[in-house]
Amino acid sequence: MTSTTKRTVNPQRFGQAYGRRPGQGHGRRYGVSAVAALLIAAASACSAGPDGPTTRTAGPVAVPKAAVPKAGAPAAPQRGFTLVATGDVLPHDSIIRQGSADAGGEGYDFAPMLAGVKSVISKADLAICHMETVYGPAGGPFSGYPAFVSPPQVAAGLKATGYDSCSTASNHTLDAGRAGIRRTLAAFDKAGLAHAGSARSAAEAARPPLLKAGTAKVAQLAYTYGTNGYPLPDGQPWAVNLIDREKIVADARAARKAGADVVVVSLHWGTEWEEAPDAQQLSLGRALTGSTTAGRPDIDLILGTHAHVPQPYEKVNGTYIVYGMGDQIAGTMFNHSGAQDERGNMSSIGRFTFAPPAAPGKRWEVSKAEFIPQFFDLGANRVRNLGAKGGGHEEIRDQIRRVVLSRGAARSGLTMAR
């Protein structure tokens, strides 16, 4: 895959993947004050229309009189939360066929594919996925590679598994043009999923989801390195968020001003089939985690996708970066040499426990960092939790663990969990 857009941080070539043989094609800035104003004015809206966030968003809301504490009353204690995040959902033709089979041939059901990790996802206070493709009309047609158009019922399957929000900025976000974005976000709204990274209006783009977890408000921002050469729609530079360091920092600061206690940034970046983070990931990761306001980091967690293989976790400037979680759902994957590569079906679940600030003005700290290896079993078309007792696939589990810990995250406290 090659990115031809000029808006990426690093205009390098990216490798081919997505379950095809080599040779097959593959398929802005906003002022901080303006973004903050939009966030503050509209973050609490709950409409499902193009300009409204999904029902899981939470912003500055009117407090009923009965809930207002009396003068001098002690503040309610703050409560921490757990956040889980997973990698690319990439429905190839085989995945679409399985969704039809799991629905008995009438419609599509994608929840059974994810049942193996439902207990992990649903138990978290906040669960974030990455939807790499866009959706087609309810009755189709649908397609896998090269221009992915997935059934909108994928959103319902994600919600049934326990997800609360998904990043939607990827190199495939414009595979079906503006209509694909509209259909995808409408399906998310219908399912009750928040979303970040693509938008139907400038107002929606400037108002990322603000989600409640514990007593914290968590903002999710999402960006992609490019869109496979598809230009942004005329007059709609906000349709897909492209990676731009200054914009990401500005958006993070605006989200903080709008009330976010924790800011999570999802990045579709890196080089396909490379387990090690590339130069862009390392330099951008350092810059973003090093950005502060009044001594407080602007970004509290970075979640990476795109490389198709598991990549390391690392704590940089006191902030965790997951360089790449790998593919959570994908069909048979072929690497650059044309060989089937089972690494394209390996991934990790990141699980982070956030504790309230130790003092006013301080950050919410990650008090516990964990990862759970997972594998998409092509024989059964099911996601397997390899951290669970009796999860099997020990060699694959150990390979994922080796990669995840390859940049010393264990020294920072990262552990493998169930």
Residue for token pair 């991934």? 347
How does pLDDT run across 236-281, given as a tens digit for each residue? 999 999 999 999 999 999 999 999 999 999 999 999 999 999 999 9
**Model confidence at 96, in pLDDT bands (50, 70, 90)?**
very high
C-beta separation of 377 from 334 below 8 A:
no
Residue 307 pLDDT exceeds 70: yes
With bands split at pLDDT 50, 70 and 90, how would you rate the model's confidence at 67? very low
Given this model, what pLDDT does residue 63 score? 32
Mean pLDDT, rounded, for 8-29 = 35
Query: Quick one: average pLDDT of 128-155?
Result: 97
Q: Could you please report the per-residue DSSP string of 255-271?
A: HHHTT-SEEEEEEE-S-
Going by DSSP bridges, is the β-strand pair 134-135/149-150 parallel, antiparallel, or unpaired?
parallel
Task: Look at residue 31 and tell me whether its pLDDT is greater than 60.
Answer: no
Cα 193 to Cα 406: distance, rounded to the nearest angstrom: 33
pLDDT, residue 418, reads: 85
For the chain, domain boundaries = 32-58+78-416
Predicted pLDDT at 72: 65
Global pTM value: 0.85
**What percent of the chain has pLDDT above 70?**
82
Strand partners, 372: 349
**d(Cα 131, Cα 89) in Å, to the nearest integer?**
5
Would the pLDDT of 123 be above 80?
A: yes
Say whether pLDDT at 318 is over 60.
yes
| Class of the domain covering 32-58+78-416 | alpha beta
**Mean pLDDT across 194-199:** 98
Nearest CA to 355 among 365, 346, 363?
365
- Which residues is 416 bridged to in the sheet? 371
H/E run at residue 296: strand 296-297
Asked whether the beta carbons of 154 and 109 are under 8 A apart, the reply is: no
Comparing 28 with 415, which gets the higher pLDDT? Answer: 415
